[in-house]
Amino acid sequence: MDRNTQLVGQSSSFLDAVERASRAAPLDRPVLVIGERGTGKELIAERLHHLSSRWDGPLVTMNCAALPETLIEAELFGHEAGSFTGATKSRVGRFEEADGGTLFLDELATLSMAAQERLLRAVEYGEVTRIGASKPLTVDVRIVAATNEHLPRLADEGRFRADLLDRLSFEVVTLPPLRHRSSDIPVLADHFGRRMGLELEWESWPGFSSGAMNRMLEYHWPGNVRELRNVVERAVYRWGDATTPIDRIQFDPFESPWRPLQGPAQAPREDGPPQGIVEILPPEGAALPPPPQWDPGSCADFRLAVAEYEKAILAAALEKCRWNQRQAATALQLSYDQLRHAMKRHQLMA
């Protein structure tokens, strides 16, 4: 878990969820944490542990989706030497590791039915049996589990044991997605931005411009707080100027006019690029200005013609790069400062 990350927010829906977790923490009962990806389920689990009487015991985390089904039970309950191919020595499971503390099971819904059955016995009786062993071991573990699935529906469909769900759902903490706690977006953006500024050794924090903040408020945030953190930290380090408010936000880090073409490879056109060269097309829907069609023989003002042609080249490059100045500078083989001076000279500054 990221020990440097804090629960930050002021919206009533978020504070209600934190309060529910805080009230359940001292009780030695299982807790389910429900929420979309990136909403902070691990942080709630950490809070449940540290506010409980088990705070000085181990907090063991297991991502149930990160292991193949054949290894889940061995990871949870341990195994004896020779119990299966590759088991050259005995190994304790996560339950034994968490004895006296808390076991956090992330992505609970991905557990197989066999693993669910063994988990039910461990939760019900406090006993686990290593694979290949004949005697159970007694463990004292509190279970906190998390998922982004609707477990009652999975139970109705026969994909999750109803009796296990009943045992684990003493308390259910459901975290609201970021799109339903928009008042927290400025607070979180400022929090993550300041931390990134400190990491970059900025002497002051310029904040975000009103335009940048409005774009963040209007965005849907499918990745929730985790995505917001990435977007904010990326914006801060790319801005590189601690004296002016940050005005550029890129939500999709893969967005680029030079992305490889999608779909199956096609035979090159007669006028297409050489084999092995990826042809780069402008972004879909981008309207590039037509190239100037001046007649050199009728040029009456050399400097004006050169200036207008240079301005057209700059405008076309900026439009193609969606006004990302650093990408446009790279495309034109200019430094960032050279591009900025040229834009200012031709009155193309946003």
How much is the pLDDT for 350? Answer: 54
Top CATH class, 12-176: alpha beta
Alpha-carbon distances of 128 from 86, 134, 257, rounded to whole Å: 21, 11, 55
CATH code that applies to domain 296-345: 1.10.10.60
Helix axes 184-199, 210-218, angle to 10 degrees: 120
How much is the pLDDT for 67? Answer: 83
How much is the pLDDT for 25? Answer: 97
How much is the pLDDT for 2? Answer: 44
In a 10 Å sphere around its CB, with 0-12 CB exposed, 13-18 middle and 19+ buried, how is residue 44 labelled? buried
How much is the pLDDT for 299? Answer: 62
Partners of 46 in beta bridges: none
Residue ranges, CATH 3.40.50.300, the chain: 12-176
Below-70 pLDDT ranges, the chain: 1-5, 85-87, 261-301, 350
How much is the pLDDT for 333? Answer: 86
How much is the pLDDT for 107? Answer: 95
Fold of 182-239: Helicase, Ruva Protein; domain 3 (1.10.8)
CA-to-CA distance for 74 and 131, rounded, in angstroms?
Answer: 7
Residue ranges, CATH 1.10.10.60, the chain: 296-345
Residue ranges, CATH 1.10.8.60, the chain: 182-239
